[in-house]
A and B are shown apart, each in its own frame.
Chain A
Amino acid sequence: NAGVTQTPKFQVLKTGQSMTLQCAQDMNHNSMYWYRQDPGMGLRLIYYSASEGTTDKGEVPNGYNVSRLNKREFSLRLESAAPSQTSVYFCASSEEGKNTEAFFGQGTRLTVV
């Protein structure tokens, strides 16, 4: 009963370092999403993948890249981390279509020093 699994749960990076956040879902969902959550601002969409093989920018894509590796996996990469990217990152998935629930992972707490 895994649902959406994110790794790692916590990470500390130095400014300029790179890293990839991993996300996998086992619900056979077509659509996957990456959000960041900052205090007082709610969740903001970074990138999404409506279906395997497609990715699109969300509200705050600058400084990030994504890969939809297959139907299960959707990764988020920070090429050169900056302190402004300190945040909690959430991956989510949903079935294709506009009347479906979104399911979320437990989050990755990233600190860039």
Chain B
Amino acid sequence: KQEVTQIPAALSVPEGENLVLNCSFTDSAIYNLQWFRQDPGKGLTSLLLIQSSQREQTSGRLNASLDKSSGRSTLYIAASQPGDSATYLCAVLAGGFKTIFGAGTRLFVKA
């Protein structure tokens, strides 16, 4: 059974710091991995989608990597800003059409 774990559960950093969020999954047979952002009381916003054949994706200050063989993905946020404060979720698309989510990392960027 596919399980997705995100570490740390919560993170507080000063503004301007570069940071890394971690995501691990137990079954390497995935089709893709997606990183989402969720603001309090809101829905999920897609940040980056990495297909199983790719190693990384970049969007602005965000860079996501994927290592299928080790079952790991990282989301790198450069020069963090208070507006980056949110919960970040990773999700893997495994067998069929089932997307399995991690519990998320709650990020707080202090001004």
**Are B4 and A58 touching (Cβ within 8 A)?**
no
The residue of chain A having its C-beta at the shortest distance from the C-beta of B98 within the complex is A45
Contacts A31-B97, A42-B104, A99-B51: A105 and B43 contacting too (C-beta < 8 A)? yes
Chain A, 81-95, contact with B by CB distance < 8 Å: what is the 0/1 string?
A: 000000000101000
Which of the residues A41, A42, A90, A101 comes within 8 Å of B43, measured between beta carbons?
Answer: A90
Q: Is A66 an interface residue (CB 8 A)?
A: no
Q: Do B31 and A99 have beta carbons less than 8 Å apart?
A: yes
Residues 30 to 87 of chain A near chain B (Cβ within 8 Å): 31, 33, 35, 40-45, 48, 50, 56, 58-59
- Tell me which of B41, B42, B99 contacts A33 (CB under 8 A): B99
Q: Cα distance A48–B45 when bound, in Å?
A: 19
> Which A residues lie within 8 Å of B100 (CB)?
45
What is the bound-complex CA distance between A56 and B95, given in angstroms? 13
**How many of chain B's residues have a CB under 8 angstroms from any CB in A?**
26
Chain B 1-23 near chain A by CB (<8 Å), digits 1 or 0: 00010000000000000000000
Interface residues on A, range: 20 to 34
Q: Are A41 and B31 in touch, CB under 8 angstroms?
A: no
Query: How far apart are the CA atoms of A109 and B83 in the complex, in Å?
Result: 24
A49 → chain B, closest Cβ, in Å?
9
Q: Which of A42, A48, A101 has the most CB of B within 10 A?
A: A42
CB neighbours of A106 from chain B (8 A): 42-43
State whether the Cβ of B46 lies closer than 8 Å to any Cβ in chain A.
Answer: yes
**Is B71 interfacial (CB 8 A cutoff)?**
no
Contacts of A109 in B (CB 8 A): 41
Residues of A within 8 A of B98 (CB): 45, 48, 58-59
Please list 8 pairs of residues, one from A and one from B, whose beta carbons are closer than 8 Å in the complex, sorted by A's number. Answer: A45-B100, A99-B32, A101-B46, A102-B34, A102-B99, A106-B43, A107-B42, A107-B43
Q: B residues touching A (Cβ–Cβ < 8 Å)?
A: 4, 31-32, 34, 36, 41-46, 49, 51-52, 89, 91, 93, 96-104
* Given A45-B100, A100-B49, 5 more pairs with CB closer than 8 A: A42-B102, A42-B104, A44-B101, A102-B91, A109-B41
